Structure 1
């Protein structure tokens, strides 16, 4: 085993050395062609200038001016002879050579650095990082990885059937006119193709199932952590950033479904196919290997800046999404102040920036795919031309040529996808890190509930509770000045407290601290001598009811909004609504309590009745403390 590993290391060092020599040779050839072209251009240029001076000299003599064209030609000849002296062109050549060498060294250092990172990423497949582990736990790929590996191996081995058929057909079956052998080989190849198709279908079914499973788990996890996020942190990020987390899942599902992994599994078989071509014809194999190395280098060269472009694109899309959410969410204010034209100009500027970055990203991705589309027919043409010459020279048979061409085309298939796969992988890395940051946040603690049992409302006595603040300090995140510092007061059970203050004085923030929506920086908020942080988040509404200034309706029926979509609260919500006098209003609606409200339909409800439904929603859980902000 150690000898095998050592041989692989030696082979890797030789390949690196061969690639370095190849790049050096290409550099010398490029420099030679550049020098030869420059010298030829200078000779032609000098000849044209000499002819021009002769013509203008003749015209000058005709017009009566003194001009010696022969002396000008002699001076130009002396200058040209001086430039041919090695003392003139040798320093220039050395300067250009040093510059070219520095560029090659810089490119080679960058290339080796990226190869080192690629090796690290391959090792991470066996030893994943924390971000990979957090996101990978949502995917059942690890349990099905063996199945995908086995299917990929069988598919790539069965792909050898058709090239072997062509080899036997041209070299043995046709010269000997053996119909029996032809029938046997044809049936065997047909079975191999059928088995390959069945295995491909099964592998596709497995990856689709893994993709759907990952998307379901990841979306639930993102939604859970988004809902559990502190209010001010949520508001600082903006709705666009929150929606990006959900969009990341839709993009990453293809990576964590095993599609990228199975494409990586096809790459080692490219070396197997090229090795078989080497056995059949070393020259054709060397041509394919050299072409593949050049293709990999060009693909890496064009795609090394893709991660920065992808990050810029995400930032631009985030700014545009936040602007759209803010604009559409405040459409009434926008129209009342006739701000349509101003908002349109702002959106045009944001869209222009997004379009520019999108064009760069699209160009980079299309270039990766386009290089593969151009490289494939070019390599096929060169392999056919070289193979035909070898057949004519007697170094290769017709069957071996057919097998080499088919194996070369087969080995090109994974490499054609290499450019797009590399760009997609770099994009997935950015999205994975962002998704891992979201998943590391604490989520909601939800008690499992059986779907077969109808929840039963537990009647609790309506009893007031006391509220106490002890040295509470709170400040908005990112601000140095605290809104409250060492705030202490005590509200007795049954006591009614009115908080007055100017706009921006912190009344809403104070009520949100009382309701447990916000967490103080320091100090203790307690209800009946129990810290509000110790109360289960699912039971906090049994202690405190909070009514914000604006009553918001959720998409659903009136009864759903009044009962908070909880069947256990329906009866209490109906009783509370009857007490508040909502029965007559609801009975006039087309479907009564089943009338659909929410989203834009909520605007059809009068503000007073929306506020009453919000009160029913808050009181339907029989809270001990009621906190109310005056409506707008």
Structure 2
């Protein structure tokens, strides 16, 4: 089952019902109060000013101020309810997705469709509830459109006909643009599905806790499918912008038309100044719900488009072995050549590394050390040859099926915004004790304890906005070791760690090495001293594998 913790809360039906009432009731009261503004304008211009009644002016002003404050408070509370739900969901969304991907055995991800996963996380459900509440507001506003239209007919039938004509043209134009947008969205949907499949299969085939390649692979996804996705999405966005621009244009046209026609009627003494002000306010109240209608349609379509992605999950290599006991890892004539390069970076390399070995990977700049380590981790696949992981019973597994057993640690890995404990455990509370123990072993506990809230200090945009590069590296190393991997790969990951911490790290690696296979690419002497085998990589493809500590 998916390892996503559920919190105790009010039953959803009751909670949603109360929230809906909290949105609808202020909307009804707000619309009723809106009727007072055009009436007040008529009273002001047609009675109070001509009669010079200062007492009535003061009373009217006080009443209007009270109504404005009360109305603004209602709208504020209504928006707070909606934004509160949006904020809570956005705040939890990334944490929940990370928790889902990182705390669930990878082979289970391939058995669950993306829509079902997202439904369990309530991402689209919560967003749909927000849109549903806004639709409830729109329904209330549409009901009051009839009332405001009636008021406008009573004040000036000619103005009503003018406004009605503009609204018909506006609705027809926006409907036409919306149809084009819907057609564009169908194309975007198809291309987004392809791209979503790429992302999903990438996550499914690579254990996200222990790899730095996901973001890099996504960033380098320059294929035709991705380009088509970008083009179709850009077309959809352009149509949305055009639609919103059209809405703004007609909004301004509406106001200008009402002002011009009202001015003509005032000149002909068929309309008063107060009635003109009232008509401007009323026309705006009639126009707003139509704008909101198209806005909600676009939002709803975007949600539905994401929810109905066509996922074609590749399950051919999705099974992962989480609990095998690794005996050794072997390279059999492994070569790697990039498509655009005729020369091999790694050429027909052979070696066997057994459990208990600590291997120093040495070589010059751009010799291929990181490439070799990424082949071992499964971040890269060989052009030819085989990389096998052999269990203690002699069974061979490809690297792709053993990725949960591999921790790849590099200087490229990042910390995310959250507490240090969250960064260490990936939101798995059961790992908290182990996290503290390993931090103690690695010598990072004193650094962490000196922070404002210790291991619960927030890094990133929290209490600790800046921590040293070395401390970050210690946290990243601890995070990888907490997962208890069978194969540990350290790729120049300790450049900022001080001598005392380095001593703790190497001591701990030596302590756990009898049950691990460890690869280290580093020029740090403390690392080199604990190794018992050496792999030498050179740019001219002269690779070697020797027993004993290297002299680098």
Residues 41 and 278, structure 2, Cα contact 8 Å, conserved in 1? yes
Distance change >3 Å, CA 311–CA 613, structure 1 → 2: farther
- Cα deviation 1:563-596 (Å, max 9, x = unaligned): x86479769x98xx9xxxxx9xx47x56599863
Take 1:139 and 1:318, find their aligned partners in 2: how far apart are those partners? Answer: 35
For residues 608 and 226 of structure 1, the distance between their equivalents in structure 2, rounded to whole angstroms, comes to: 28
Contact 2:82/2:133 (8 A) holds in 1: yes
CA RMSD of aligned residues (A): 5.5
Q: 1:394 to 1:610 in 2, by over 3 A?
A: farther
Quote the offset at 1:157 in angstroms: 1.7
Distance 2:111 2:165 in 1: 53
Q: CA deviation at 1:383?
A: 2.2
Q: Separation in 1 of the partners of 2:80 and 2:50?
A: 44
C-alpha spacing 1:196/1:565, structure 2 compared with 1 (3 Å): closer
Of 246-255 and 281-290, the range deviating more from structure 2: 246-255
Aligned pair 1:273/2:185, yes or no? no
Q: How many Å apart are 1:141 and its aligned residue? A: 3.0
CA distance in 2, matches of 1:597, 1:228: 17
Query: Structure 1 residues 610 and 311 mapped into 2: Cα distance closer, same or farther (>3 Å)?
Result: farther
Query: How far apart, CA to CA, are the structure 2 residues paired with 1:283 and 1:310?
Result: 45
Residue 500 of structure 1 corresponds to 394
Q: 1:155 to 1:228 in 2, by over 3 A?
A: same
Counterpart among 177, 180, 186 of residue 308 in structure 1: 186
Give me the whole-angstrom Cα distance separating, in 2, the residues matched to 1:508 and 1:324: 11
Gaps of 5+ in 1: 1-135, 335-339, 438-475, 483-496, 513-546, 578-582, 617-632
- Do the aligned residues in 2 keep the contact of 1:240 with 1:322 (CA within 8 Å)? no
Q: Matched residue of 2:406: which SS?
A: coil
The 5-angstrom pairing of residues 248-263 of structure 1 reads 248=123, 252=127, 255=130, 258-263=133-138
> In the alignment, what sits opposite 1:60?
none
Asked if structure 2 preserves the Cα contact closer than 8 Å seen for 1:141 and 1:210, the reply is no
- For residues 167-566 of structure 1, the aligned pairs below 5 Å read 167-213=42-88, 231-232=106-107, 234-235=109-110, 248=123, 252=127, 255=130, 258-304=133-179, 305-306=181-182, 307-309=185-187, 311-312=189-190, 314-315=192-193, 317-318=195-196, 321=199, 346-347=221-222, 349=224, 352-432=227-307, 499-501=393-395, 549-551=405-407, 566=430
Distance 2:30 2:515 in 1: 64
Contact 1:288 1:379 in 2 (8 A): yes
Q: Give how far 1:376 is off.
A: 1.1
Q: What CA distance in whole angstroms lies between the structure 1 residues aligned with 2:31 and 2:13?
A: 29
CA distance in 2, matches of 1:140, 1:213: 15
1:309–1:357: 8 Å Cα contact kept in structure 2?
Answer: yes
How many residues were matched structurally?
Answer: 371
Q: Distance in 1 between matches of 2:221 and 2:92?
A: 37
Corresponding residue number in structure 1 for 2:475: 596
Residues 211 and 254 in structure 1, CA contact (< 8 A), matched pair in contact too:
no
Distance 1:431 1:358 in 2: 12
CA contact under 8 A between 1:254 and 1:260: conserved in structure 2?
no
CA distance in structure 1 between the aligned counterparts of 2:161 and 2:97, rounded to whole angstroms: 50
Q: CA deviation at 1:166?
A: 1.5
- Name the TM-score, length of structure 1 as normaliser: 0.46
Counterpart contact for 2:42–2:277, Cα < 8 Å: yes
Q: TM-score, normalised by structure 2?
A: 0.52
Inter-partner Cα distance in structure 2 for 1:551 and 1:600: 6
Match of 2:19 in 1: 144
CA contact (8 A) 1:173 1:181 kept: yes
1:380 touches 1:409 (CA, 8 Å); kept in 2? yes
More strand by share: 2
The equivalences for 1:7-18 within 5 A come to none
Do the aligned partners of 1:368 and 1:420 also contact (CA within 8 Å) in 2? no
Q: From the superposition, tell whether residues 352 and 170 of structure 1 become closer, same or farther in structure 2 (CA, over 3 Å).
A: same
Quote how far apart the aligned CAs of 1:238 are.
10
CA distance in 2, matches of 1:208, 1:343: 31
Residues 1:157 and 2:51 aligned together:
no
- Change in 2 beyond 3 A, CA 1:419/1:257: closer
- Tell me the distance in 1 between the aligned counterparts of 2:237 and 2:304: 18
- Give the structure 2 partner of residue 612 of structure 1: 512
Which secondary structure does the structure 2 equivalent of 1:164 belong to?
helix
Q: What's the CA shift for 1:146?
A: 1.4
Conserved? CA contact 1:155–1:199, under 8 Å: yes
C-alpha distance in structure 2 between counterparts of 1:247 and 1:361, whole Å: 26
Q: Secondary structure at the match of 2:130?
A: coil
Structure 1: how far apart are the matches of 2:235 and 2:432? Answer: 55
Identify the structure with the greater helix proportion.
1
Structure 2 unaligned residues grouped into runs of 5+: 1-10, 320-390, 449-473, 482-488, 494-504, 517-552
Contact 2:247–2:291 (CA<8 Å) still a contact in 1?
yes
Does structure 1 retain, via aligned residues, the 8 Å contact 2:210–2:407? no
Q: Tell me how far 1:425 sits from its aligned partner.
A: 1.7
**Is residue 168–residue 399 contact of structure 1 (8 Å, CA) maintained in 2?**
yes
Q: Which residue in 2 is equivalent to 1:92?
A: none
Task: Output the CA distance in 1 between the equivalents of 2:140 and 2:218.
Answer: 50
- Post-superposition Cα deviations, 1:344-397, rounded to whole Å, max 9, x if no partner, equal 875265553343123112112112211111001212222223333333344333
The 5 A counterparts of 1:94-109 are: none
Distance in structure 2 (CA, Å) of the matches to 1:416 and 1:402: 22
| Equivalent residues of 2:211, 2:408 under 8 A apart | no
